[in-house]
Structure 1
Amino acid sequence: MEVLPTLVYINMFLCTLLSYWLWKDEKMKHKQRAKLPPGTMGWPYIGETLQMYSQDPNVFFAAKQQRYGDIFKTNLLGCPCVMLASPEAVRFVLVTHSHLFKPTYPKSKEKMIGPSALFFHQGDYHARLRKLVQNSLSPETIRKLVPDIEAIAISALESLANQQVTKTFCQTKKFAFEVGILSIFGQLNIRYREELKENYCIVEKGYNSFPTNIPGTAYQKAMVARKRLDQILNEIISERKEKKLLENDLLAHLLNFKDEKGQTLTEIQIADNIIGILFAAQDTTASALTWIIKYLHDDQKLLEAVKVTIFLRF
């Protein structure tokens, strides 16, 4: 009588083992079909992060490109990834076959910026937030800010008057940050502006650091500063609500947002999106401004044409 249950258990075990073997075999076949590009993955979890940070990242990627070509695999910040170093490959991902790819970021970066930031999402949430941001930063709105933006530019140039050499990209980043604060908050209290700048700089320094919470590391300092940014933004939001200020800046649009179900954004969602927008806009804006300055400097005829256009417009 005891033999039958034993046989049943043995059969169940063998079936489970067979199923696992078939699943493993299918998985191996799939891996063989989906070949990854050449490259090395480095150590488990750490990957090649330490190698990249031990030298100039540009040198690290240039060496990889020279050895493996324009498309290669690696592992950075705990994330296996494929690097693209040619315009054709980038166009394939971003333009012709964008529907095949989903934008993702290392968890450490999501945590630092804020998981509710719109560029970490897809679907309805992303579409609604993106439309809201576009509306709040429309050409009509920006046009009204031109006098204030001009004042920021003049102040930045005056601060450089006595410097013989300056790094253009660093200065345009500072300028982009000031304009970003203006676009998001309007005329913000100087105390809040300085506190935001101080903590944001700490977060930015730790953004590409190795994600370890050991006290004193760039990442740990950045996470502490990120929490402080939440506190500052909550103070600004509370003050805005208390005084019932009627503004037309991005913060006002975020505070007044309601979806089709009447749901508003939480303060955490608002804070994540404000920090996300600052991150998304700063480097790209600074890069564009740096190249514009270079081309205007190198081509005097172009510079004169721009001066004439500006003179005629105003």
Structure 2
Amino acid sequence: MDIEVIMSLFPSILSLLIIAISLFLCFFFFRKTNANVPPGSSGWPVVGESIRFLLSGPQKFIEERTKKYSEDVFQTSLFGQKLAVLCGPQGNKFIFANDTKLLASWWPLSLRKVLFFPEFVQATSDEVTALTHDFMHDILKPEALKQYIPVMDSMAREHVEVEWVGNEVVKVFPVSKKYTFDLACRLFMSVVDVDHVTRLAEQFALIASGLFSVPIDLPGTAYRRAIKGGKLVRAELMKIIGDRRNEILENKLQAATRSDFLSRMLLVTDENRKFDLEKEIANNIIGLLFASYDTTSTAVSFVLKYLAENPHIYHEVYREQMDIAKSKSEGELLKWEDVQNMRYSWNVVCETLRLIPPGLGAFREVVKDFTFAGFTIPKGWKTFWMVHTTHKNPKYFPNPETFDPSRFQGSGPAPYTYVPFGGGSRMCPGKEYARLEILVFLHNIVTKFKLEKTNPQEKIVFHSFPVPMEGLPLRIIPHST
């Protein structure tokens, strides 16, 4: 072949050679690195398996993949991120035991873009929540929670008078959201202004509708609406925070608000802070309010659903709650000791959280290679543990679809099988707060009304949380006096 022809083809030959070598190296290293990673599928480009997850719901999604790939661990791609899902009690135990050793707290970029200010999007989860760590222990310790109970009871009574009394049918899901969100605004920020609370609730509804949707930021998508809701929430909170700071500076703060979460955070003094204090406060309050907006209200709604469906269980809860009510003088509010006596009622709540857990689970980032169930999870991968890998597994809960509060009597379920609040060092810090809120609300409903479902066939769908399609309308029948 003529030397000039060879030289003219040299760039093309070189390019092909480079491509061939690159493909070989990629194949070699991919095979070496991924030879023993968990089995599974990454789904479609960009969207991964998110659409399938949202359409089928987490329970069916888990069941299909554990059956197809492995009962212990599988890989998938959700919310724009490749994940290893650790399953069963051993998976739960492994994650809870290694939360500060092999794993670090982590949230998908798609969630951070919705919830936080832009400058926080690339920050680590621990950096975003660092301010909360300084206060969470104090505001959620028993001494503080004891003070919340009368406020919870008083607000629950007001709520029942406004939203329940005089109605034949109540849509439980939306009204319970209103109650739990109003209560969170009151306890954490001392915000009772109806306009503020209403605007925040409307904006949080936008977030909830698209936070766990396919993260495509285009006009008309649920994710775009969630981003818009996040911006509106942050703007509203910054106004509230600014007004509160001015009250502090002008010494106009009322005694009732001096020790709430917001006011105490504003008194932080640290000139070396990495982020703007007010924005950091807003991020942390968003986390608190978001938990109150959906998770607790979802739990409350489904507790009432199961009571309406199971009259014999309702009767036992009613008996327990009336014993407490009869021990109180006229107008006396509930106190800590009263809630501690709601033992059977709490078993009912626990069984509800087993069957329909409000929260999905939690994300973690792998900071060091580890082996689980014979598979290697490389550093840099993300993990996702979900309550759904054990809660309805007949190995751990016989007749799993049967509503049976007795499962929680005595020693209760086997370790690491019942995990609605997580576990280990990162167990949900609001567990006890949620327990009190749910039980106080339950007391105020059950002592006043019998409950009947208007549509026994109402379906439950999964958005970012389980949602009754019709809002859970219940017929309420006042007890005869």
Gaps of 5+ in 1: 1-16
* Counterpart residue identity of residue 196, structure 2: Y
SS at match of 1:132: helix
Matching residue's letter, 1:73: Q
Could you say which residue in structure 2 is the equivalent of 1:131?
Answer: 134
Listed one character per residue, the Cα deviations across residues 40-95 of structure 1 (whole Å, up to 9, x for unaligned) are: 11112221122233444443333223323432211112111122342321121113
Distance in 2 between the 1:131 and 1:188 partners?
25
One-letter amino acid of the structure 1 residue matched with residue 151 of structure 2: D
SS at match of 2:43: coil
Offset of 1:269 from its aligned partner? 1.1
- After superposition, the Cα gap between the structure-2 partners of 1:137 and 1:186, relative to the gap in structure 1 and judged at 3 Å, is farther
Give identity over the alignment, percent: 25
1:87–1:290: structure 2 CA closer, same or farther, 3 Å change rule? farther
State the partner residue of 1:268: 279
What is aligned with 2:266?
Answer: 255
Matched, 1:181 2:185: yes
TM-score, normalization: structure 1? 0.77
Give me the whole-angstrom Cα distance separating, in 1, the residues matched to 2:273 and 2:227.
Answer: 33
Q: 2:34 maps to what in 1?
A: 31
Change (3 A) 1:69 1:303: farther
Q: CA deviation at 1:275?
A: 0.5
The match for 1:211 is 215
Q: From 196, 221, 228, give the equivalent of 1:224.
A: 228
- The TM-score, its normalising length taken from structure 2, stands at 0.53
TM-superposed CA distance for 1:221, in Å, is 1.5
Instruction: Provide the secondary structure at the position in 1 that maps to 2:246.
Output: helix
1:242 is aligned to 2:246: yes
Contact 1:112 1:222 in 2 (8 A): yes
Report how far residue 128 of structure 1 moved: 5.1
Distance 2:44 2:292 in 1: 34
Equivalent in the alignment of 1:106: 108
Q: CA contact under 8 A between 1:173 and 1:283: conserved in structure 2?
A: yes
For the Cα contact (< 8 Å) 1:93–1:101, is it kept in 2? yes
Q: Which amino acid aligns with 1:39?
A: G
Distance (whole Å) between structure 1 residues aligned to residue 133 and residue 201 of structure 2: 24
Q: Give the partner amino acid of 1:248.
A: S
Could you tell me which residue of structure 2 aligns to residue 5 of structure 1?
none
Q: Is the 8 A contact 1:136 1:248 kept in 2?
A: no
Aligned to 2:48: 47
Of 156, 159, 179, which residue of structure 2 is paired with 1:153?
Answer: 156
Instruction: State the Cα RMSD in Å.
Output: 3.6
How far residue 107 of structure 1 moved from its aligned partner, in angstroms, is: 0.2
Q: Distance in 2 between matches of 1:126 and 1:204?
A: 20
Q: Which has the higher contact order (CA 8 A, sep 6+)?
A: 2
Supply the distance in 2 between the matched residues of 1:249 and 1:309 (Cα, whole angstroms): 29
CA change 1:21–1:68 in 2 (3 A) is: closer
The alpha-carbon distance between structure 1 residues 163 and 86, as it changes in their structure 2 partners (threshold 3 A), is: farther
One-letter amino acid matched to 1:43: W
Alignment of 1:58-137 (within 5 A): 58-70=59-71, 71-95=73-97, 99-114=101-116, 116=120, 121-122=125-126, 126=129, 129-137=132-140
For the structure 1 residues 43 and 291, does the alpha-carbon distance in structure 2 shift closer, same or farther, using more than 3 Å as the test? closer
Q: How has the CA–CA distance of structure 1 residues 85 and 300 changed in structure 2, closer, same or farther, with 3 Å as cutoff?
A: farther
**Quick one: distance in 1 between partners of 2:244 and 2:145?**
21
Instruction: Check whether the contact 2:49–2:78 (CA below 8 A) recurs between aligned residues.
Output: yes
Which structure has the highest strand share of the two? 2
- SS of the residue 2:104 aligns to: coil
Give the 3 Å change call, closer, same or farther, for CA 84–289 of structure 1 in structure 2.
Answer: farther
2:316 aligned with 1:304, yes or no?
no
User: How far apart are residue 179 of structure 1 and its match?
Assistant: 1.8
Contact 2:47-2:215 within 8 A present in 1 as well: no
CA deviation vs aligned residue, 1:219-271 (integer Å, no higher than 9, x gap) = 11121121111221121122212233432111112211234858885222111
More helix by percentage: 1
| DSSP 3-state at the match of 2:152 | helix
Instruction: Give how far 1:202 is off.
Output: 0.9
Structure 2 gap segments, 5+ residues each: 1-19, 329-336, 339-481
Task: Read off the aligned partner of 1:111 and give its amino acid letter.
Answer: K
Cα shift readout 1:261-302 (whole Å, capped 9, x = no counterpart): 588852221111110122245444345545766579716445
CA distance 1:292–1:134, shift in 2 (3 Å): farther
Aligned partner letter, 2:101: H
CA distance in 1, matches of 2:176, 2:275: 35
Q: Between Structure 1 and Structure 2, how many residues are aligned? A: 294
Q: 1:24 and 1:258 mapped to 2: Cα distance?
A: 54
Distance of 2:228 and 2:99 partners within structure 1 = 39
